[in-house]
Every structure is written in C-alpha cells, then in structure tokens.
Amino acid sequence: MKALITGASSGIGQSIAKYLSNLGYDLVLVASNKEKLEATIKDYKTNVKLVVTDLSNLKMVKDLYLFCRDDNIDILVNNAGFGLIGNFNETDSLRELEMIDVNIKAVHLLTKLFLKDMIKKDYGYILNVSSIAAFNQGPLMATYYATKAYSYKLSVAIYEELRRNKSNVHISCLCPGPVETNFNKVANVKFAIKGISSDYVAKYAVDKMFESKLIIVPSLKMKLLRFISHFISDKANARFAYRIQKKK
C-alpha cells in the first residue's frame, strides 16, 4: 500500500503522511523545500521516497507522475497550495498566477493522471485538500478562494462520475477552516478564529476518506458556518467575509 502526498513538508500534508505511515502505508512525499522535506523522515515508520519539485511548473507535474507511475499509488493527497491577501487590484499578478498553477492546474493534472490508473485497477482514493473558503466569496483573498472553489467543484463532479460507473475508486474533498500551519506565514495572515491542529485534521480527514465521504469539514464551527451560508445572499456573504479578512 502506498500514498503520494504533495505539500508534505509541513502542516496538514505532513500530518496526513504521519498518520498514513502509522496505518502501514509506504509514502511518496512531495514538496519544494528539500531541507524541510528531509527533516520529516524521522517521523515515519514505513518506507519513504522524497520528491523535491515545483508544482507551479506543469512539466514538473507531469514528470512527477511519470516518476511515480510504477509505484502503484493507492492514495493521492493533493495538499500543496498557498494563499495571498490584499485587494485584488493591488496583489502581485505573477504570484497569483503561480497560485493558480499550484492550487488548480497541478491538482487538476495529478487528479486526472492518477485517477486513470486507479480506474484501471478499480481501486484507490483521492483526497483533494480545499478549504471552507470554497463555499464563500473571498474579498481580500479573491484568487485563493476561487482556486479552492475549483478543487471543490472538480471533486464533486468526479465523485458523481465514479458513483454512476459503480467504481471502487473514491474521491473526497477536505474543506477545513483555520488550521495552525505554515499557510498563515506564506499568506501573511493571522486568522481571526483560532485554528485547530493539523494532526486532528489529518486523522479526521483520512478516516472520513476511507468511509468514502465526499465533503469533509473537520470542525463543528465550520459545519455551522457552511450551513448558515446557504441562507445568506452572495452579497451579504461577501460583506461578512470582507470584515473577517480585514481582521487578518
């Protein structure tokens, strides 16, 4: 049994890797920071392969798949991603395009490539790490929210295709709220709501993934927020989100 996890050098990705290793899965761990990735090896009980690559480069994404194609990946965790805060007309366009490459294009391509292999053997799990942001508008983090909505919508659509084909391949979408990870530092934000631990999120997410749950929201507070948002207009949601983002 083997799992491939992107963004595995810290945060949710690292916590998922540790939990899957404890369950007996060999690991292929992917990240852009070699030193941080190598520093995690001591945390695992099973065989580990490290891959240092840049997921904002589509050629490197394809090369990652080719490098791992013969590893018989049973679980794909698309966790790599980052955010950026600021008014849309003021944020760095090149950084946002890089975000789209990592948060959307890499997720899209890896999901498609590994999904085809899983369908052939009629077994496998894909966990796309999105965010509670996928369900709302995101003034001051417009591009990040939009990228997370993409991975959410993509996962739901693929889920229905697999269900109708009676496939034994399962896809889930993890949508956490604030989590205590390195994301805050990269995005230059401080959450107004206290974050939950990445270890808790990882265990909850993997357990629900194995139960074939489609949308995984690992917090009662975030579940309530998602429920309430259904009864509020998009404009009102955007105004509320702006006030929350402004506090960051």
Report residue 158: phi and psi, to 5°.
-65, -40
Query: Pairing relation of β-strands 124-129 and 169-174?
Result: parallel
Tokens of 224: 């309530």
Cα separations (Å) of 94 from 84, 151, 188? 12, 21, 17
Tokens of 207: 């357990």
The residues that are catalytic are 144
Report residue 216: phi and psi, to 5°.
-115, 115
Which residues, other chains included, contact 231 with Cβ-Cβ below 8 Å and sequence gap of 6+? none
For 129, the 3-state DSSP assignment is strand
The rounded distance, in Å, linking the Cα atoms of 135 and 68 is 33
Around 129, how many Cα atoms within 13 Å sit in the side-chain half-sphere? 30
Query: Do 125 and 74 contact (CB within 8 A), yes or no?
Result: yes
